Structure 1
Amino acid sequence: MSINPPGPKSTAAPAPYIDAQVQQFRAAIDDATRTPTYHRDTTPLPAIGPTPPVEQPGRPGMSSQAVDRNVTILTSSVLTATAGGAISLVLWTSGQANETVIAWVCGSIIAIPAALTLPVLALKGLMKSAKDVAQAAPAPVHHHYNGNVTVDQRAIHATNRGLIANTRNQLPR
């Protein structure tokens, strides 16, 4: 491939230094495509020993439940601020802006979702505790017998008497 200067087509051969640069550029591209651009470290991770974990600097670790609640709080605050700002902007541009009206609008934007969210969160907690109770209940046991079955329902009576107690369990006859 040769590079020709712009303008009318000439039949003259390109300068030798340009041809050498093109060849050098092609060689660099070929070399770059042959070299892998990734590396996978397959060495095994070190075994975890008796050393306790070390608290890292920065924000302390949170449970997944705390992270979920934190995300809920942050997203609801962003939505509240956006809605309040939009309504305030509409009132201001329309010339109907009144401090009392804006206070009521912003208050209702905060109070109404909170009033709706609290019962939902309470119901969610109640359902979770009911689910935990249901999972903790023992599974029913069903016995299936074939043939003659004798059920013995005698009670054992124990008596303890004396300075050194001696328990003698006896079945009544």
Structure 2
Amino acid sequence: MDFNHVTHPLSDSEAKTEAERIIAEAMRPERQFPTSFRDESEVPPYGDTPPVHQDDKRIVPAWGAGIAVASIGVGAGITGVGCGAWLVLQGLASVTLYGVLMVTLPFAGVAMVATAIGGAINKARSTVTKNVYEGPVVQNTQINNTSNQRGMFSRTRNDVR
């Protein structure tokens, strides 16, 4: 029925029929997929039945799979952080030697890491020098000896050349 060319109003039964037709048309799925699979092949007289190929109709976009994996990782990480915070707060709640150690333990860990990094940097910066000299070697064994004596004081000067 084309509503643009209707010259008279619809009766109640016609309107109900038309409404049902429009709703049924709007609610009709575009493609129908079976929700179950029934294997109609014969069962062998003994032993296991052979596997039957079942097509997988699910479509998951790559971004959806990536978001799912990332959310699992974030959830696991947050759970670990929460458990660590709970343990630290449990340690802080008890004012014992263990509680005090629990408070100072992160600072000691940071100091240990800083010391290790400083030692590694210092060791990396210190260079090993091996001086290898090449060329002629001259050995002078002349000793120039001058002595001045005047009065009570004397001075001796040795020059090796």
TM-score (norm 1): 0.28
- Higher-Rg structure is 2
